[in-house]
Amino acid sequence: MRSPLSQQPAEKIRDLPRTFLRARLAEYFHAPAPAEIVTEDYSLWRCIETGLEFCAPPVPGNPAFYEWVSGFDGYYQGERWEYGAVGAELKDHAGPGFKILDVGCGPGDFFKVLDFLPPGQKYALDLNEPAIRICRERGYPAFCGTMTTATAAGFVAPGGFSVVTSFHCLEHVADPVGFCRELLCAVAPGGKLYLSTPCSPMSFESDWFDVQNHPPHHMTRWNPAAYRQLAKILGVTMRPLAPPASPFRQALQKLCLQLHGPNVFVPREVLLKDLLRHGPRFLAHWWRLAARARRHELRGADLILVEFTVPAGPAAQT
């Protein structure tokens, strides 16, 4: 078995049978998981060079899977830390000829923070037709399809965008290197590509299996070393960014998972009672997570945002 980022043999972590994954999905969403939403038996592997974790076979969730998970409240996040972070990076650099393409845009929530740009400079691309209709209603040039079909239709021109963004898409695709090459082809020389994913393993994953961060939902699990290798393969420079991490909040999240299970709203008064009843357990979590933050490259963050800069000359990946 080979990693997407290396020619060295990968090491196997565990098997992920379809029955196990359906049981974890039912637990997470508090609803029976239909058999047709997970039809593969997966295994999880680790790249020995970068620590990237990836699944085999690399078969993303089928339409039945995404129709099922997207039907639950809270599956789509309207706000993300990286929206504001990228917006702040671009605010002082967006001139009259500036154009940005958001791949996997959903209804265009990211574009709300780019209020310094007119709608006509914000291009939207997604596979979800209802989301694309919302983008068009908001005045954004929008296309429903893939990078390949958008390029064939003339919506995406090679080197046509100052910046391309794709938030929480990379981990869903079977071929992450090929996906990034397609994105970079749309970036002008000297331009930027911004990607974000979970930074795995996340703070709570030592005690709990996060089915949302495994197949068939996520094909790959990223970390800074994996992104550095990806940048090297693509011939771009990389800068990692991450939100501030709070070991206190992470410890509270761990305690809630242990006491109440996943994807459950816990009122403040219940949290206070939990802290009183399980104080030593909470403090042990807090101590371990504070130690993790001290040795962690991103100071314990559960999210990584990377900025890839295309060379000012002809792009290497094209």
- 232 plus 256 within the same structural domain: no
Residue closest to 86 by CA, chosen among 7, 154, 164: 164
Least confident of 81-85, 90-94, 261-265: 90-94
pLDDT score of 77 = 75
- For the segment 224-244, the average pLDDT, to the nearest whole number, is 97
Tokens of 40: 């593969």
Q: How far is CA 243 from the centre of its chain?
A: 14
> Is residue 1 situated within a structural domain?
no
> Is residue 315 situated within a structural domain?
no
21 pLDDT exceeds 70? yes
- For the segment 15-31, the average pLDDT, to the nearest whole number, is 97
- For the segment 300-304, the average pLDDT, to the nearest whole number, is 97
144 pLDDT exceeds 50? yes
- DSSP class of residue 243? P
pLDDT score of 316 = 42
Mean pLDDT of the chain: 94
- For the segment 236-241, the average pLDDT, to the nearest whole number, is 97
Rounded Cα gap, residues 99 and 187, in angstroms: 10
In Å, how far are 43, 121, 192, 209, 276 from 205, measured between CA atoms?
17, 40, 31, 6, 24
Least confident of 63-77, 185-199, 253-267, 268-282: 63-77
Least confident of 62-71, 72-81, 192-201, 247-256: 72-81
Rounded Cα gap, residues 113 and 82, in angstroms: 10
pLDDT score of 238 = 97
Look up the CATH number of the domain holding residue 182.
Answer: 3.40.50.150
The letter for the amino acid at 189 is: P
Count: domains in the chain: 3
pLDDT score of 314 = 52
- 135 plus 260 within the same structural domain: no
301 pLDDT exceeds 80? yes
272 pLDDT exceeds 70? yes
- For the segment 110-137, the average pLDDT, to the nearest whole number, is 95
Specify whether the CB–CB gap between 124 and 156 falls below 8 A.
no
Residue 171, exposed/middle/buried by CB under 10 A (0-12, 13-18, 19+)? buried
Alpha carbon dihedral 224, 18, 173, 54, in 10-degree steps, equals 30
> Is residue 58 situated within a structural domain?
yes
- For the segment 279-297, the average pLDDT, to the nearest whole number, is 96
| Final residue of a structural domain among 46, 69, 92 | 69
For the chain, give the number of residues.
Answer: 318
- 213 plus 90 within the same structural domain: yes
> Is residue 316 situated within a structural domain?
no
Domain of residue 280 covers 247-295
- 144 plus 227 within the same structural domain: yes
318 pLDDT exceeds 50? no
- 63 plus 48 within the same structural domain: yes
- 123 plus 229 within the same structural domain: yes
- 108 plus 254 within the same structural domain: no
- For the segment 61-72, the average pLDDT, to the nearest whole number, is 92
- For the segment 213-225, the average pLDDT, to the nearest whole number, is 98
In Å, how far are 54, 184, 196, 240, 294 from 308, measured between CA atoms?
22, 9, 11, 9, 26
The model's pLDDT over 163-212, given as tens digits with 9 standing for 90+, comes to 999 999 999 999 999 999 999 999 999 999 999 999 999 999 988 999 99
- 238 plus 109 within the same structural domain: yes
- For the segment 49-64, the average pLDDT, to the nearest whole number, is 96
